[in-house]
Amino acid sequence: MWTIAVKPAYTSQLLAYRDKFIFTDCGIREYWDNKESLWVDRDLNASINVKRVGLGLFPTIKRRKGNPVVGDSTTNSTSKEVLATLRMYQKPTPTCNQAV
């Protein structure tokens, strides 16, 4: 097995399955995605993005007026696999009817 160093820039901020910056504040540790009904853990999301960087699948990020903007991306071709991985490792979602 080989280990290759990659530049992790923006990997902890960008959703791995949709080109959207979510984790812009270090205090945000998880994100609830209503569309996908999914809790996304920041660290797990970042690890998937680091792998995408190593595979050459991470989108190009440019800075415009101080804000990062997504350029070229292959996210649409990898989003199903990423969502499946995130669902496999997500925490159980509490329901209102659970006994405390």
Q: Domain range holding 64?
A: 1-100
Alpha helices in the chain (DSSP H): 42-54, 75-89
> pLDDT at position 78, please?
81
Q: Which two tokens stand for residue 50?
A: 């680091």
**pLDDT tens string 22-65:** 999 999 999 999 999 999 999 999 999 999 898 888 888 888 88
The pLDDT of residue 75 is above 80:
no
Contact 67, 61 (CB under 8 A): no
Q: In the prediction, which pLDDT does 15 show?
A: 94
pLDDT reported for residue 93: 63
**Planar angle of CA 81, 82, 83, nearest 5 degrees:** 95
Domain count, the chain: 1
